[in-house]
Structure 1
Amino acid sequence: MSLLDRYNSQLVDEGDAEDQEFLDLLDDDEAFQGYREQRIAELSRQMKEAKDGAQSGHGSVQTLESDKDVLEATTSADRCVIHFFHPDFTRCKIMDSKLEQLAARHLGTRFVRVDASKAPFLATKLGLKALPVVVCYIKGQEATRVVGFERLGGTDNFQLSALENLLYTYGIIQRVGTSGMRRAEKKMEEEDEDWSD
C-alpha cells in the first residue's frame, strides 16, 4: 500500500469515526437533548442578532452623507467599519465589493461608507492622505485601520479571507461558528498538543 493510499484510508477512518461519534450522540438521549438545546440557543442568538442588525442598518454597507452621520454610526454600534472612498477610484470599488460581502456575513458589525470629500472634518482629523481607507471602531474607539491594500497582500486581487481575518484579529467581526467548525478547531488543538509533547 502506497503512502497516498494509507493517507486516504486514514481520512476515511477518521470520517467514519466522526460519523460514528455523531450516531452515538443521536443514540444518547441526554447528550442529544443537550446538543439540541445548545443549537437552539445558538440559532436564537443568531436570529436576534440578524433582526437587531437589520433594524440598525447591519447586513449591508450603508452610504452616509456627512461627518455627523459617520460620528453617529461609530457611537451607535458596538463594532463599526467605515470605508472612506472616492466614487471614481477603482481600488475603492474593489474594497467596497469586499466589504459588501463581509457585511452580509457578519451581522453583528455595522459597515458604512462615506465619500471622503463629504466628510472633510473627519478626513482631516484622521489624517487621510490615500484612499481607500477603512477605519474600524469598537465601542467608539478606533481599533485598527487599513490604508490601501498593503495589509491585505498589496495587490488589487487580494483574498476576501485576508480582510476577514484582519478584522477578526482586531475583534471587529466574530467568527460564525458551527459544531463542525468547533470540532475541527478542537481536533487541530489536539494535534498541536501531540506535536508539542
Structure 2
Amino acid sequence: MHLHSVRTIQATARPSLIIADDHRMVAEGVQHILDESFQLLEIVADGDALVDAVRRLHPDLVVADINMPRCNGMDALKRIREAGIDTCFVFLTMHMEPALAVAALRAGASGYILKSSAGEDLRHAAQQVLAGGTYVTPALGARYISAQLTDARNLTSKQLQVLRLVGEGLRSKQIAMQLGLSVRTVEAHKYTMMQVLGVHSTLELVRRAEELGLLF
C-alpha cells in the first residue's frame, strides 16, 4: 500500500517529526500517539522518500519501519548517517530478534520499539532519545543488547571487515588477498576477535557475530 506525503505546518516550538511506514493505519496511529508532543512535518511510505525528506526538512525525530519498499529502513538510516545528519531515529517494527535491534543501534538508531508495544512505550522512547538516551523495548532485553554493543565496540574497523568476510564463507587466504593483508595478519585478527567475543572456533565466531548483528 502506498502512502502520499502529508505535510502539516504549525507555528510551534514542539520537536519536529517524520514518520516512515508503508501502511497508512500504522502511520496515522503513530501520528495520533505523538501528536500532542511533536510537530508532524511529513509522512512517507518508502526508504528513498524518507532519505529525501530528512535531507530537506532535518527533523528532530524520525519514527520508521524497517520493512519498506524501494529502500528498507536500515539502509535509509545508513544513508542518512553517511550524509552527516544526526537526526534522532527510532525504529517501530514487528521484528523481535535482539540481533536486529543490535544492528539497528550500531547503524545509528537510538530506539527500537515493537509494534505490539503500548503507545506509552513509543511516547517514552521518543522523549528519551531526544534527551540523548537510547530506548529498546523491554521485551527484547535491553541489558542484553547493551552488553552485546559493548563487546562489539572492542573490535576495530579492520577486524570487522575481516569478520564480515569470514561470515561470507571466505578462507583466510582469500580474505588476505581481498583486503591486501598477509594471511598471518588475518589469522591474528580472527584470534583476537575470538578472545574479545569469548569463542573458540571460526564457526562459533560467525554464530556470535550473527547474534551481535555484526554481519548485517
* Same-fold status (TM-score > 0.5): no
Structure of larger gyration radius: 1
Q: Which has more helix, going by share of residues?
A: 1
Task: Provide TM-score, normalisation by structure 2.
Answer: 0.26
Task: Provide TM-score, normalisation by structure 1.
Answer: 0.27
- Relative contact order higher in (CA < 8 Å, ≥ 6 apart): 1
